[in-house]
Structure 1
Amino acid sequence: MRVLIVEDNRRLAESIRDILKHWYDCDICGDGNSGYFLLTDGGYDAAVLDLMLPGMDGITLLKKARKSGCSVPVLILTAKSEIDDRVLGLESGADYYLTKPFDMQELLAVMKTILRRRGAVIPECLSLGNISLNQADYTLNGPEKSIRLGKKEYDLLRILLVNRDMVVSKETLLSKIWGSDGEAVDNNVEIYISFLRKKLEFLNADVVIVTIRRLGYRIMEKNGGGGRE
């Protein structure tokens, strides 16, 4: 599962990532505008959000995200501990409000709690056509057989399935899956798209990953039309 940490204090953000990294894949963002874009882009299971951010403050970010329909669980992590601040955070759409300094075990417990709540919205298996992706064990299931995906294959397919009604750009996939990896190059996405297409064919899937020229990729059922361009 992927967690977005929106925190402008780099040292604190890295400390949070170090606490969570044994259970979740974590990305760090240091400003509100970028945080809003990443939070609403559909690739994260949860977010840790600071309130005092450059560009766009945390409350504004959260209200705007909720208004756009974003349902990603959000944990507000802030030094503001007054009751009014806590109420404002929760009323703005936060799932939990944790004040600094915080205990490592409490942070882990809260993350597990808000992710369980998300389970009522996003199922353990993401399905389209005759395939389903099990988010617990990275298994891709077809009508008659199953196959285990590698971590990056899983991440890529999951993002496409969550955003099935949208075209996902190569840049978005590269950023979300490879992040700041210095070895990541543009054709990494093309290579893993090819891997996934072969596995979908192996499973006799009735869905395809379509290349939308100059825009990106979209996953869709074969009877929905379209094809590689």
Structure 2
Amino acid sequence: MTTVLIVDDQPLQRLGFRMLLESQDDMTVLSEATNGSEAVRLAAELHPDVVLMDVRMPGLDGIEATRRITAVGDRTRVLILTTFDLDEYAYAGLRAGASGFLVKDAQPEDLLSGIRSVATGDAVVAPSLTRRLLDAYAQHLPRPDTPTDGLERPDARLTALTDREREILTVIGLGWTNTEIATRLHLAESTVKTHVGRILSKTGSRDRIQAVILAYDTRLVNPS
């Protein structure tokens, strides 16, 4: 059973989500929150599998609430809901630790599938859309510091990776799926999945979305 916390300041929106989720045999709504502060408190009390998080809310917004919820290191994962698929708030939400995002007018089956995917540790943003999102807001990424001796040093988050793992992290950042990686690098898909799992573990990335952000942060991938 997947447990969900609904966070939205619009009563009708919350009601719609609750009715949809409770129509499913494998989902249950633990509670609802009308703002970010309530979301943080309820997430700490109830430990839901997934927080369905609105962005624009009075008081503490969904971005800061996401940051506080994921910073605890609990199993709870956050699925951001936004009005537009290239909304900069969605980008900020991903960097705050969300496991993905969906637009509010997504089809019901897409929302349900997204919640199930997030609950099992997967990401719900298509790789191509992730790339487009990060390209659009790459100017928000901090510029790397230049060492005083002029010598470029590898990012500490990448030092534990093998050459193959670094290569795969790079193409994950480029938006390749596991199937594409397997085909283009002449690997078994099961081998690719193993590499991806090790990359997530070694870099401390919560999911594939965070691995893509890492690839951008460390300049393995540069904005197009």
Length-normalised TM-score, structure 1: 0.48
Greater strand content: 1
Greater helix content: 2
Length-normalised TM-score, structure 2: 0.49
